[in-house]
Structure 1
Amino acid sequence: MALILPKNYDPVLTIRQTQEAIKYIRDTFQKEFGKELNLERVSAPLFVPKSSGLNDNLSGVERPVAFDIAAIKGEEVEVVQSLAKWKRMALHEYGYNPGEGLYTNMNAIRRDEDLDNLHSCYVDQWDWEKVIHREERTEQKLEEIVRNIFKIIKHMQHEVWYKYPEAVNHLPKEIVFIDSEELLQRYPDKTPKERENLITKEYGCVFIKRIGAALSNGEPHDSRAPDYDDWGLNGDILFWFDWLDMALEISSMGIRVDENSLDRQLNISGCNDRRNLPYHKMLLNGELPYTIGGGIGQSRLCMLLLNRAHVGEVQSSIWPQAMRKQCAEHKIFLL
């Protein structure tokens, strides 16, 4: 995606006011989020051993940042790309029961990201995970949690409106659910990204279900690693964003694989070598709890609520100097 410079853009708040608003949104959201979903705040690692298999492979092509540690010979460690697998292991080791869960601040470096209005090499999100009963591995349970998350985001809009009425972005009243196959049938001549934009612009906020599995055209709506989400029970929350004239993804989430869906998805994706990793062995043996989880972008949420045109306005990262100059000329002040 090329850099977008909206016409007549006005951030409204100063940089110092923006910093204050960012802190308010982050502090308030995580407290409300934890309370609504019965999640406890825990500490999480910045890096994990490569041999553990706990790092998230994302779509499978991104290169994790890796290094060695002088005091641990022969072990390479990787900066996490997300905590999708670590969280499930933590729920197991910490003794969480069905209906209980955790959330944490996840910070990552994704060096292969294209840098633009929405993408940064620095990732900050609330990673969360909750234990469920096996019989709760259903679309009904998935949609229930999605509606809860939407309700919290909508409540946050009202909180921000109260403190910063001149700066808040007004969000739609409800979230609409649509399956990725239904979306393909609606717009068979469009790319997945074009389909996302069309449906999100129509409804304001959507949850696109079933991402990772091949659709009737033989291709998935988008790539997903085979070893965390069940491709039949997952999806993305998208909001329409006027400044960029496109859908803004706020969360990717889903019911996690059980032993059967992991076995099937490893076969489909040609990743059977992962079966020998400690985490995957435990999953295939049914030793880990059944869970639902995901990530909610912290900077993306601040962007959405404060109506900002560039993620660099709400997080401090690294950007090309030419981009910084262009942005400054259009009142987009990168931190």
Structure 2
Amino acid sequence: MDVFLTIAAGAGILFAIAYFSGNGSKKKVLLKESIPDRLGLLEVVPASAILNKLENALPYEYINQVKLRFLSDHPEVSDDEFEWRLFELKRYFFLNSVMKNTPMFSSKVDEVWHEMLMFTKQYESFSEKYLGKMLHHTPNLEPEPAPQQRAFFDWVFAQLFDITEYTWQAWGDFFHYPMDVEVLQRIESLSDVELKKQFFNVNEENQELVNYLITKLRSQLRKAQDIYTMDRKGSFGRPALFGDLSGLSLVMVFYSYYYFDEYWDYTQVYAYSNQAHGTSGCSAVFCGSGGINDSHNDGGGHSCSSSCSSCGGGCSS
């Protein structure tokens, strides 16, 4: 059976896709060499100090022990996929240094975290070096993700990181839930100190990043208000690729603020790329392997189903 490798660009990341002749099926092969540098942090994000501290807190010896044990316990997972899962877990750890409440919404990523916990001393050392305290893992027994927690997780994630194809496979649908409308309505009256106290962990190393996120949130809310004065239903461009979320956080803020109860009815219009790209078999931006079990239609006759596995509804740290 002949195998042809094609390199496909998606959301700024390269994936190798093996095409098998005969039955016309496709099998995607993730390459660890394609994992973005610097955790895929966007260039404008002021986060070098946090990134360096995270990497220095995870010595090679520890990670290699975790990897060997994980691959032994999960023979169905390739070496490359483990590296992608670890990549997303590091992003999750990064979020923990900034966000006050950071649920775990990915069973794939959570499995690697569980393996790290098995090495008790090394994990405690990592937590202390990185956060100055123990990063606990507490399962969330709720059957569904907490919608507003997931919404804020998605918003912060999109401000910081490139969204790769594997990102939405691991974390499930992005921006499916609206942000807390009561919080958005109070943004103008809340001071920076109050916002930090409610949402963020603030220290000397991450203060610039937290200020950056607060500025972005206030800016998007002002833009949403300006858009509403011109077009009450809102009008936004659709992404060019399934992983292009650069403008979708503004869509999220707008419809959360003005149409909270009808959020997905409006937002799903912008959830699909302009063209279906063969790398995914689905043109939906929000469509991952996600836990909502929705079937979406892009308006052009292309439907896509997502079925999210989200660690039992999310795990709280």
The alignment's TM-score, normalised by the length of structure 2, stands at 0.28
Return the structure number with greater helix share.
2
